[in-house]
Structure 1
Amino acid sequence: MTRDALKIATIGGGSSYTPELIEGYIKRKDELPIKEIWLVDIEAGKEKLEIVGAMAKRMVKAAGLDWEVHLTLDRREALKDADFVSTQFRVGLLDARIKDERIPLSHGVLGQETNGAGGMFKAFRTIPVILSIIEDMKELCPNAWLVNFTNPAGMVTEAAIKHGGWKKTVGLCNVPIGHRKQAAEKLGIPEEDLFFKFAGINHFHWHRVWDKEGNERTQELIDLIYGPQNEQESHLKNIWDAPFHYEQLKDLGMLPCGYHRYYYIEDEMLKHSVEEFEKGETRAQVVKETEARLFELYKDPQLDYKPKELEERGGTHYSDAACEMIASIYNDKRTDMVVSTENNGTITDLPYDCVVEVSGPVTSHGHEPYNWGAFPPAARGIIQVMKGMEETVIRAAIDGDYGAALHAFTINPLVPGGTMAKTLLDELLIAHKDHLPNFSKAIAKIETEQPETRAYVTELMKSN
């Protein structure tokens, strides 16, 4: 890329994460010749866009930069001639996440933002929107890179690449960043002196670690982090740090993703989530309160830096990773990053054309993943189920296919099969009616034939 006056557009610019994004660009002011930053949102997010946009302008001014920061509700205006497009939006805002969590939990089933029933519904709402963004990009900025950190990042990225045809797409997650920092701290070795290999899918990956002398340190880290004599502290703000079973991880010989707790110790995680639900303290409800406090801070006309309180939001490092991704592409830096990208044989146990989350350098032509090969059987079996579920979710989201959606619910390990799967699917379809136009026929049928389902959802959400 040779342009010396970059235009960067952010879809979901009214997000509480935007100050971290601006901070990341400022940190890289000598690497990125930015001219324009466009923050775009929808009408429902207008107030937040104006608050965080004003703060972004203060941050740029305080840094002594002449960048133009534009705020708009016109997506097409923001996309026109953009060089990079980042996506950080939430269809239905945090109220939608509350429904994703509370409706399953009301039945004693896990409700979570990117896992189980809630994660699938977030994908149903989000995938059609990312595909519509890509249609605009094809017309308005055909050479732009799409940097996605909208969750569920793996499925959204796969939809963009496989179904939207936008090959210049990379998906980002903050979870591997935390695992890298944790390993460096536990070993007492600078992060840059360690070599990491991550492989799997978003929020469902494993990793191994070596030092610069070529010694693998994975088993040592399993002992240091998950050994019976140690307190297993998670670096993830949004996941309860119930202890993994040490013997299971030693047998696996790989370090787990924090989200594996939902699968490896499902009963403990579910019990804790149900307790939170009964107290009216699901993670989505807590995040909504945290975000409200953040925006009160952002209103301060003297605040021109990212406040420390943003770290409590749960997604810290996301935005900085996006800035590094852009800088690495623009400058061909070859920064080693963990990215959702095309498999292309990197993981032999998964389809060649699917999207996986793997390590590798980021070049001017995109991410070049390190070869991983095959997983041990204990990991291979469950990740193949998870990838089959993801592919089915994507198909259901695009086609509005009720049968495919029900099949995805049946495949998902965190959703009970049979009647419960159908009950949850129907209730969540009703709850998210306004944001699921592709499922309009299925929703109309449920409303006609099952008035009690609508009544149940309405009553439950009154206590939201």
Structure 2
Amino acid sequence: MKIAFVGAGSVVFTQGLLADLLAFPEFADVHIALHDIDQDRLATALAAARHIAQVRGAKPAITAHLERRPALDGADFVINIVQVGMGEATRTDFEVPARHGLRQTIGDTLGIGGIFRALRTFPLLRGLGADMAEVCPRAWLLNYTNPMAMNVQYLAEATGLTRVVGLCHSVYWTMRGLADLVGVPYEEIVYRSAGVNHQAWILRFEHEGVDLYPRLAELAERDPELRRRVRFDMFRRLGFYPTETSEHSCEYVPWYLRHDSEIERLRVPIGDYLDIVAANEADYERTRSALAMGEPPAVEGTMEYAPQVIHSIATGVPRTVYGNVPNHGLIPNLPATGAVEVPCLVDATGVQPTRADPLPPQLAALNRAYLSVTDLVVRAAVEDEPRHIRHAAMADPATAATLPVEAIWRLCDDMVIAHADRLQPGLRAVLASEVRPG
């Protein structure tokens, strides 16, 4: 069995996934193919992989590739963890909108940051899809790259790949946190979530047949510090808890980032992802230096879904994970072509998404707004229509709540100019002065 890592230079994440994979005895002799276009990062990933294999007592074949196709050739699974442009592009995603008066916290899912992260990732996804169709057409593509919903929809519409699932740890860690809050062991709770990536909803939260939502609401009423979290504010008003952090959740709605008072009340950390980027870069340098000095870091598992998915498909051991897949009626009151996050059964037959009931209307309304932005970004790329970039920004809840429409178009022009060499050629037009009548 061959597992290819695309973007293996994301060394810390690659290490966690490999630690999980090589903990399975069935994978002791798999072929791990590492690909990255950065030679230094690839070398670091290779050294880390060899160390992890040694610690795990495994003897996989580990190869490193600067070119993508040799890494993919004959692969059974492809894990995509690419971040196009790395920290430099992410800083642009924050600095340019900030000059226009637009606040962001994470900027990797919706908003201006999410839109342009997607647009610079799509050309890579198209190439990846073409390569997979030729050299590993039966492989499963396990995507971790954000913006998840945009990327999964684009992969479905632009590449023709059908064995694609987007994986994210937000549901798992949300439920871990909620279990701790209500004082019930995680292993004993029963839960179900559905929605879209980073804005799914905990629809069922029980212990021994008892609904735990009243206990959670009581905790929030007693603890003013809990009420100073965006997620708890949304829970109190919508009746259901969202699956991503407050830093994420505040960006997908129009209510918080525009208002100084809300930022103060809910302790919203503006520009939070810039600190995360800096920390990730520092982690990489520490790992690189430690490996070079013969003092490799400890091998630690991550509980990520990709190793579990691979193990279930390879061995037939059944599991349930949360996956991002094209909707096609899985959530009846969300758009059919949008990517939704639902429970998926995994076994030797592959990944099988499960159907959810219609979402409560207040939740579906927010998810539809999210998926409208997503669809316009995908339309921009698939149709090579630069105006749809502006339409997506105009439809984005947080952007539209903050900037007048002319400012949105000027901001999009500045972002296009800043990222031009990473965008497909047809999307590089500057359009602020072009307002077509009718």
Q: TM-score higher than 0.5 here?
A: yes
User: Offset at 1:102?
Assistant: 1.4
The secondary structure found in structure 2 opposite 1:294 is helix
Q: What amino acid maps onto 1:24 in structure 2?
A: D
Q: Retained in 2: the 8 A contact 1:23–1:306?
A: no
Change (3 A) 1:375 1:52: same
Counterpart in 2 of 1:326? 310
Counterpart in 1 of 2:290? 300
Change (3 A) 1:210 1:89: same
Change (3 A) 1:198 1:181: same
TM-score (norm 2): 0.87
Q: What amino acid maps onto 1:18 in structure 2?
A: T
**Matches of 2:72 and 2:157 in 1, distance apart?**
21
Equivalent position to 2:362, from 378, 385, 410: 378
**Matches of 2:270 and 2:358 in 1, distance apart?**
40
**Matches of 2:326 and 2:180 in 1, distance apart?**
31
Change (3 A) 1:89 1:190: same
Could you list the per-position Cα deviations for residues 75-107 of structure 1 after superposition, in whole angstroms to 9, with x for gaps in the alignment?
Answer: 000000001000000111111011111111222
Q: Retained in 2: the 8 A contact 1:23–1:305?
A: no
Q: Does 1:430 align with 2:389?
A: no
Change (3 A) 1:78 1:88: same
**Matches of 1:435 and 1:74 in 2, distance apart?**
19
Change (3 A) 1:130 1:346: same
User: Offset at 1:7?
Assistant: 0.6
Change (3 A) 1:77 1:272: farther
List aligned pairs for 1:312-323, cutoff 5 A: 317=302, 320-323=304-307
Counterpart in 2 of 1:340? 324
Change (3 A) 1:306 1:97: farther
Equivalent position to 1:285, from 248, 256, 274: 274
Give ranges in structure 2 of 5+ residues lacking alignment. none
User: Offset at 1:266?
Assistant: 4.0
The secondary structure found in structure 2 opposite 1:82 is coil
Could you list the per-position Cα deviations for residues 281-328 of structure 1 after superposition, in whole angstroms to 9, with x for gaps in the alignment?
Answer: 9334323432332123212133444478xxxxxxx94x7322112112
Q: What amino acid maps onto 2:282 in structure 1?
A: R
The secondary structure found in structure 1 opposite 2:307 is helix
Change (3 A) 1:326 1:273: farther
TM-score (norm 1): 0.82
**Matches of 1:307 and 1:14 in 2, distance apart?**
17
Q: What amino acid maps onto 2:421 in structure 1?
A: D
Counterpart in 1 of 2:18? 22
Q: Retained in 2: the 8 A contact 1:94–1:288?
A: yes
**Matches of 1:418 and 1:289 in 2, distance apart?**
33
Could you list the per-position Cα deviations for residues 370-407 of structure 1 after superposition, in whole angstroms to 9, with x for gaps in the alignment?
Answer: 43222222222221121121111111123331111111
**Matches of 1:245 and 1:175 in 2, distance apart?**
16
Change (3 A) 1:75 1:244: closer
Counterpart in 2 of 1:119? 114
Point out the more displaced range, 165-174 or 292-301. 292-301
Point out the more displaced range, 167-176 or 356-365. 356-365
Q: Retained in 2: the 8 A contact 1:100–1:113?
A: no
Q: What amino acid maps onto 1:142 in structure 2?
A: P
Counterpart in 2 of 1:101? 94
Q: Does 1:401 align with 2:378?
A: no
List aligned pairs for 1:29-428, cutoff 5 A: 30-32=25-27, 34-42=29-37, 45-111=38-104, 112-211=107-206, 213-224=208-219, 226-232=220-226, 242-244=229-231, 246=233, 249-257=235-243, 258=245, 259-263=248-252, 266-268=255-257, 271=260, 282-298=271-287, 299-301=289-291, 302-306=294-298, 317=302, 320-416=304-400, 417-428=404-415
**Matches of 1:13 and 1:26 in 2, distance apart?**
16
**Matches of 1:253 and 1:269 in 2, distance apart?**
23
Q: Retained in 1: the 8 A contact 2:191–2:203?
A: yes
Counterpart in 2 of 1:455? none
**Matches of 2:163 and 2:195 in 1, distance apart?**
20
Q: Retained in 2: the 8 A contact 1:159–1:394?
A: yes
Q: Retained in 2: the 8 A contact 1:7–1:35?
A: yes
Q: What amino acid maps onto 1:331 in structure 2?
A: T
User: Offset at 1:19?
Assistant: 1.1
Q: Retained in 2: the 8 A contact 1:110–1:273?
A: no
Q: What amino acid maps onto 2:85 in structure 1?
A: G
Query: Percent identity over the alignment?
Result: 27
**Matches of 1:401 and 1:202 in 2, distance apart?**
25
Could you list the per-position Cα deviations for residues 247-266 of structure 1 after superposition, in whole angstroms to 9, with x for gaps in the alignment?
Answer: x5245221113232234574
User: Offset at 1:346?
Assistant: 2.1
Could you list the per-position Cα deviations for residues 201-238 of structure 1 after superposition, in whole angstroms to 9, with x for gaps in the alignment?
Answer: 111111133435333323333443x43515339xxxxx
User: Offset at 1:367?
Assistant: 3.2
User: Offset at 1:25?
Assistant: 1.1
Point out the more displaced range, 103-112 or 17-26. 103-112
Change (3 A) 1:245 1:296: closer
The secondary structure found in structure 2 opposite 1:267 is coil
Q: Retained in 1: the 8 A contact 2:335–2:368?
A: no
**Matches of 1:187 and 1:331 in 2, distance apart?**
36
**Matches of 2:84 and 2:345 in 1, distance apart?**
31
Point out the more displaced range, 208-217 or 66-75. 208-217
Q: Retained in 2: the 8 A contact 1:58–1:303?
A: no
**Matches of 1:266 and 1:434 in 2, distance apart?**
34
**Matches of 1:306 and 1:270 in 2, distance apart?**
43
Q: What amino acid maps onto 1:25 in structure 2?
A: L
Change (3 A) 1:295 1:367: same
User: Offset at 1:160?
Assistant: 1.3
Kindly tell me the number of residue pairs found equivalent between the two proteins: 418
